A and B are shown apart, each in its own frame.
Chain A
Amino acid sequence: MDFPEPIRLLAFLLGMMAFVAVNAAYLVWAERKGAGRFQRRPGPTEVGWAGLLQPVADGIKLISKQVIVPPGADPILFRVAPLLVMAPAMMTLAVIPFSETLVGRDINVGLVFVFAFGAINVMAIMMGGWASRNKYAIISAARVVSQDVAYEIPMLLVVITLLMVTGTMNLNEIVQQQAGWFWHWNLFRLDVNPLMPVTFIIFFICMLAETNRAPFDMAEAESELVAGAFTEYAGMGFGVFFMAEYANIVVGCSLATVLFLGGWQSPFGVGSGVIWFLLKMYALVFTVIWVRWTFPRTQFYSLLNLSWKILIPISMVTLVLTCILLKLT
């Protein structure tokens, strides 16, 4: 299939937006349903079969509400923040290879691209918190920034470790290197780094922290900060933040799949395709939901301690170890 480039891009853009929107909406449903099951209750059942229309109903409700800008808030930043939090999540999906051919832009610096846009998310939450002119929101904004600084470092160290193994930043090539049986996945490349599973766990923890998910949901610690940075947002303003959270989870899990779990490669060496990518990604997404409904929230300072005292040293160790092992082989 050879489409002219502009049409292909347009189709991809629309597809990506639809993908993000549907994912965000139905991950909310999945989370509520999953949480319900964890808690021995059925979850949403009323709207549509098994509550499947619940996200639609919620969306209509949120859209029909007035966007209230509190007096004294910065009117521009307050309105821009939800958009800024949503847009990067969609941008990053452009370089994620869903399958060998299904990729928006196969660029050589894909990995850098993802992290560059991923960082905007935090700035947007800070913006929203700051513009709200609310003490809870400002405390939350300050927390988000220091949390992000703390967790970006181990995450990038882990990614550098991985880059040394793969030797490329092109996400498609990274996936292609992991072809074959599942022990070819980076997660199981114990020959270059025996601590590879630990590296993956660090990546996963950092991803939870970066996406502000429990047990690291400091930005939205509802028992302390009411709703954190989103306290003053009503209607769809809040809805967009909420969708962006799920979009970011999808991005984070996609990245973890590509980097560690072989992307769209089948674990058995044959029959690779988009289905495997989605399976792996949603398994990770499910884990994220599972963790949230099992663990209590950490304190803010022990969250920072975890990063500076445990995660960063360990990721440094894996980095050095990989250097040495790569040099030896």
Chain B
Amino acid sequence: MSASEVIPASDKPQETFVLNVGPQHPATHGVLRLKMTMDGEYVARAEPVCGYIHRMHEKMGENRTWAQFLPNTGRIDYLAAMAYNHAYVAAVERAAKIEVPPRAEYIRVITSELNRISSHLVWFGAFLLDLGGFTPLLYAFDDREKILDLLEAITGSRLTYCYYRFGGVCNDIDADFIRGVREFVAGMRPRLKMYHTLVTENVILRRRLVGIGYIGREMCRKYGATGPVIRGAGVAYDVRKVEPYSVYRDLNFDIPAFPEGDCMARYRVRMEEIEQSLRIIEQGLDKLPDGPVMGGNVPRVLKPPAGDCCFAVEAARGRFLVRIISDNKEIPYRVRLRTPCFCNLSLFEEASAGMMLPDALALLGSLDLVIPDIDR
């Protein structure tokens, strides 16, 4: 080939290939599939394909009684089941005008926050695993184990709790639980410090996270991203503050937000949130009132008056909203679930364009996706 025949690089047809990440791939933590069109190691287009674990929770809500649907909510985001139970229970309580005694509200907040910590610890471990660090996972699970043991003692289950009931919670907490939680809170703070020295300040980790995977406010607004994703873009949006529910209004806590919008910002938001949750738990235990844990006016056969009712909570991954429509029957007319991970995933395609494969997977990990929460 003579020199004149050499084709300039730009005139060559773009050579891309499709890399199928998932549905079984170590980085997707579940049955999510990413159809990645790759240009060498650069991601040209990453198309999430979901639906592999769709269980029709919304439809299931329409053919069982109000109470029978409660366990389903814990299986949507199995890592933060408490908050999901809370949203559904509170929505039904709002519709049926059921009173919740203050002690039950405090117990709900304490257990929800414990659950948030355990969820963030799983994310922390899994995220570090995505980045190739295996050891922090086991440290995080060590701490999470303490939470699970505590919650198991009062709820009877370790993952998909069904502890909240219409009108309160099913068991009262005992002195053992309170002592255990106080011990855990006291022990968790030095552990967080250890995580920061071991992981956060690690130079390799900083190189992998700082400035990588930018998600701005505008993108969050466009896709409806919530939770640590939007707080990592500098918007201090937290349902616990903007539409306070339960007893969050009486508790003192801050909403961590970092304006950088990169993976590190989202990482730091979650680590800060663990600390804030510890604060909330401490205050909740201090203020815990005496009294019953179940409201008196819960009817045996629940038929909320006809109407349309919403309730949103701040779950570990963002805003979880339950909308229920009742036609005064024993079973709901319609249950609509707005889950945070679905919105957080949908921005992945735009955010990951042009990134390199390891960075795109770091971005994916920083979104903290729970696949059943996407597919529900």
Contact = CB atoms under 8 A, between A and B. Distances in A.
Interface of A: 35, 38-41, 135-136, 139, 214-215, 217, 221-224, 226, 293-302
B60 interface: no
A300 B355 CA distance: 12
B359 A299 contact: yes
Contacts of A139: 19, 41, 357
Contacts of B129: 223
A160 to B, nearest CB: 28
B263 to A, nearest CB: 12
Contacts of A215: 132, 204
B135 A217 contact: no
B75 to A, nearest CB: 26
A82 B357 CA distance: 27
Contacts of B207: 298-299, 302
B83 to A, nearest CB: 28
A221 B25 contact: no
B307 interface: no
B302 to A, nearest CB: 46
Contacts of A214: 132
Interface in B124-141: 128-135, 138-139
B208 interface: yes
A300 B40 CA distance: 13
Nearest to B365: A223
A107 to B, nearest CB: 39
A139 B41 CA distance: 8
B235 interface: no
Nearest to B364: A223
Contacts of B19: 135-136, 139
Nearest to B137: A39
Nearest to A36: B138
A41 B208 contact: no
B363 to A, nearest CB: 12
B202 interface: yes
Contacts of B132: 214-215, 217, 221-223, 296-297
B362 to A, nearest CB: 8
Interface residues of B, number: 30
A40 B138 CA distance: 8
23 contacts: A39-B134, A39-B139, A40-B142, A135-B20, A221-B132, A223-B26, A223-B129, A223-B361, A224-B358, A224-B361, A293-B135, A294-B135, A295-B204, A296-B128, A296-B208, A297-B131, A297-B133, A297-B208, A297-B358, A299-B207, A299-B208, A299-B359, A302-B207
A301 B204 CA distance: 12
Contacts of A136: 19
A304 to B, nearest CB: 11
B309 interface: no
Interface of B is mostly: helix
Nearest to B357: A224
Contact of B356 (A40, A223, A296, A299): A299
A297 B362 CA distance: 11
B223 interface: no
B142 to A, nearest CB: 6
B356 to A, nearest CB: 6
A222 B26 contact: yes
Given A221-B358, A226-B25, 18 more contacts: A35-B135, A40-B138, A40-B142, A223-B26, A223-B129, A223-B361, A293-B135, A294-B133, A294-B198, A295-B202, A296-B132, A296-B204, A296-B205, A297-B132, A297-B204, A298-B208, A299-B208, A300-B358
A214 B204 CA distance: 11
A135 B356 contact: no
Interface of B: 17, 19-20, 25-27, 41, 128-135, 138-139, 142, 198-199, 202, 204-205, 207-208, 356-359, 361
Nearest to A217: B132
A200 to B, nearest CB: 20
A38 B189 CA distance: 21
A293 B134 contact: yes
Contact of B358 (A39, A293, A299): A299
B293 to A, nearest CB: 36
B162 to A, nearest CB: 31
Given A222-B26, A223-B27, A295-B204, A301 B356 contact: yes
Give the most central of B20, B131, B199, B205: most A CB within 10 Å: B131
Contacts of B41: 139, 300
Contacts of A35: 134-135
Contacts of B17: 135
Contacts of B357: 139, 224
Contacts of A295: 133, 202, 204
Nearest to B362: A299
A95 B297 CA distance: 86
A258 to B, nearest CB: 29
Contact of B26 (A135, A226, A297): A226
Contacts of B142: 40
A215 B17 CA distance: 28
B202 A296 contact: yes
Contact of A298 (B130, B135, B138, B204): B204
B356 A39 contact: no
A294 B133 CA distance: 7
Contacts of B134: 35, 39, 293
Given A299-B358, A302-B207, A223 B131 contact: yes
B352 to A, nearest CB: 13
Which 5 pairs of residues, A with B, have the shortest CB-CB distance? A297-B132, A296-B133, A39-B138, A296-B131, A223-B27
